[in-house]
Structure 1
Amino acid sequence: MDLRIFTEPQQGATYDTVLRVAKATEDLGFDAFFRSDHYLHMGDADGLPGPTDAWITLAGLARETKQIRLGTLVTAATFRLPGVLAIEVAQVDRMSGGRVELGLGAGWFEQEHQAYGIPFPGNRFDRLEEQLAVVTGLWATEVGKTFSYEGAHYRLTDSPALPKPAQSKPPVIIGGHGPKRTPRLAARYADEFNMPFASIEDTERQFGRVRAAAEEAGRSADDLVYSSALVICVGKDDAEVARRAAFLGREVDELKENGLAGSPAEVVDKIGRYAAAGSRRMYLQTMDLDDLDHLELVASQVAPQLG
């Protein structure tokens, strides 16, 4: 089971804070550092000092880290034109020496679009599908040849399809709960399917849909990596678990039901149940970016028991 640290910097974090967490992620032996792609805080957070752009942040981290994978869970298709996104990801991939992964989603948080003057169209899933076709098509075009695309929302004519990423193709992550279009899209474009914040039963059911869609598309279902994302709240004792739950503004029992919470043994057991449902990678949503002791506890007492 790969363990990846997944952060939400829009809730209030400077680049220096994010860098500190990313370096701790690497030093402690986690597989990857991922961040959200949002420009506005959610819930009761004040968001100070303000948002950091996901791909500018990852460009900095690409030069400041050496081993961990880096990516978004997930980039909003509404924020960037697909040709520009393909360039950004390819450039950051080269800056990192080939360690970048692209999680791409349709975009959903209307309020942040309103706050920063970003269009929020009603046909976002259709746009997402075209973005995936354009981004992967640009990367796949041979050097010296051009790429053209004619869609309902995006049109490219004789693009040189440059620059190329360091990897032959940065892994593309698609996720979500949708029962039909999401599995079909994952089967066509994804290297990894992520089921975020879902029960074990719903996770297993959605993985089954994606596997079936892959087979229907003429692709082996095992070509994809299947992953989960859940909030993490571990403590050495009940008091520490309660303190970390309070930071999240949530109850311990609710977190144990809907996240990864409790003692290291409890969390190991629950991750094992997700593994039995088909998950091979776990994104640990880490909300308190100043609590590096939390990461150390997971690295020292959870990770070693997962094999």
Structure 2
Amino acid sequence: MELRIFTEPQQGASYDQLLAVARCAEDAGYGAFFRSDHYLKMGSVSGDPGPTDAWITLAGLARDTSRIRLGTLMTAATFRLPGPLAIAVAQVDAMSGGRVELGIGTGWYAEEHTAYGIPFPPLAERFDRLEEQLAVITGLWTTPAGQTFDHAGRYYPVTASPALPKPVQRPRPPILLGGMGPKRTPRLAARYADEFNLPFVSVEDTVAQFGRVRAACAAIGRDAKELTWSNALVVCCGRTEEEIARRAAAIGREPAELRANGLAGTPAEIVERIGRYAEAGSQRIYLQILDLADLDHLELVAAEVLPQV
């Protein structure tokens, strides 16, 4: 089981805070530093100093870290055109020496779109646009050097693109898809994903949705073993009940609720809970860290959970 760090900067974080977390994660031995791609806070937090752009952040981290992998859970397909996104991700991949992964989804948070003037079409159209974005992005990245790429799309037609720049990772950076959609999500994952991720769902829901994606892979003749299977879960670890309660209070949650819906408790409890997700087929866990100032939390999990999983 690989453990990765996952942050939510729209809740309030500067670049320097994110850099501190990424460097701590790198030094502690986590597999990757990921961040959300949102432009508006959620809940009652202030969100100060305001949102940061995911790919600008990752470009900075690409130069300010040296080993840890970097990516998004999830970039919203509504935010960026596929051609410029393919260019940006390829450039950050080069800046990092080939450490970038692209998590991408339909986008779901209507309020952040209206807050920043971003069109937010109905869900069916968002899925159509996501599918077309995946075709364009992967097509641009995998077109042989010296050839051009064309795509006769409804939303994103492409004509005679030089399909440059190429990412460092070949044939392309890993693509992550995810979510609980019962039909189109599994089909898209089977066709395009290198990793399938489920955010904040139970072991039982994990088993069910992983099964749907495996069935979609079988339907097109793809070996499901080619995919990496993962979950994202909030973490709240402490050596004592007092420490657990303190960390839960710092993120506005209750220990009992976190134990039921996330990874909360002592290191031993968290190891046991991770084991249940492993039995469900998960190979990676993205640990959602909501208190970015508490670097001791990352170090505790690295010291007492990571070696046991």
| Corresponding position: 1:99 with 2:107 | no
Residue 54 of structure 1 aligns with an amino acid whose one-letter code is: A
Residue 279 of structure 2 aligns with an amino acid whose one-letter code is: A
Q: Secondary structure at the match of 1:118?
A: coil
| Corresponding position: 1:125 with 2:99 | no
Return the alpha-carbon distance in structure 2 between the equivalents of residues 106 and 71 of structure 1: 17
Cross-structure match for 1:297: 300
List runs of 5+ in structure 1 lacking aligned partners.
none
Residue 176 of structure 1 aligns with an amino acid whose one-letter code is: G
| Corresponding position: 1:212 with 2:180 | no
Q: Secondary structure at the match of 2:305?
A: helix
Q: Secondary structure at the match of 2:5?
A: strand
Cross-structure match for 2:108: 108
Residue 158 of structure 2 aligns with an amino acid whose one-letter code is: L
| Corresponding position: 1:75 with 2:86 | no
Count of paired positions: 306
Cross-structure match for 2:243: 240
Q: Secondary structure at the match of 1:282?
A: strand
Return the alpha-carbon distance in structure 2 between the equivalents of residues 271 and 33 of structure 1: 19
Q: Secondary structure at the match of 1:174?
A: strand
Return the alpha-carbon distance in structure 1 between the equivalents of residues 44 and 300 of structure 2: 27
How far is the alpha carbon of 1:199 from its aligned partner? 0.3
How far is the alpha carbon of 1:276 from its aligned partner? 0.4
Return the alpha-carbon distance in structure 2 between the equivalents of residues 183 and 155 of structure 1: 25
| Corresponding position: 1:53 with 2:56 | no
Return the alpha-carbon distance in structure 2 between the equivalents of residues 244 and 152 of structure 1: 48
For residues 44-84 of structure 1, give each alpha carbon's deviation from its aligned partner in whole angstroms, at most 9, with x where no partner exists: 11110111100000000001111111000000000000000
Return the alpha-carbon distance in structure 1 between the equivalents of residues 251 and 270 of structure 2: 17
Return the alpha-carbon distance in structure 1 between the equivalents of residues 199 and 112 of structure 2: 21
CA-atom RMSD in angstroms: 0.6
Equivalence map 1:245-264=2 (5 Å): 245-264=248-267
How far is the alpha carbon of 1:215 from its aligned partner? 1.3
Report the TM-score, using the length of structure 2 for normalisation: 0.98
Cross-structure match for 1:143: 145
Cross-structure match for 2:182: 179
Cross-structure match for 1:26: 26
For residues 207-236 of structure 1, give each alpha carbon's deviation from its aligned partner in whole angstroms, at most 9, with x where no partner exists: 111111111111101000000000000011
Sequence identity of aligned pairs in percent? 70
Cross-structure match for 1:200: 203
How far is the alpha carbon of 1:244 from its aligned partner? 1.0
Residue 185 of structure 1 aligns with an amino acid whose one-letter code is: L
Report the TM-score, using the length of structure 1 for normalisation: 0.99
Structure 1 runs of 4+ aligned residues shifted over 6 Å read none
Residue 110 of structure 2 aligns with an amino acid whose one-letter code is: E
Q: Secondary structure at the match of 1:63?
A: helix
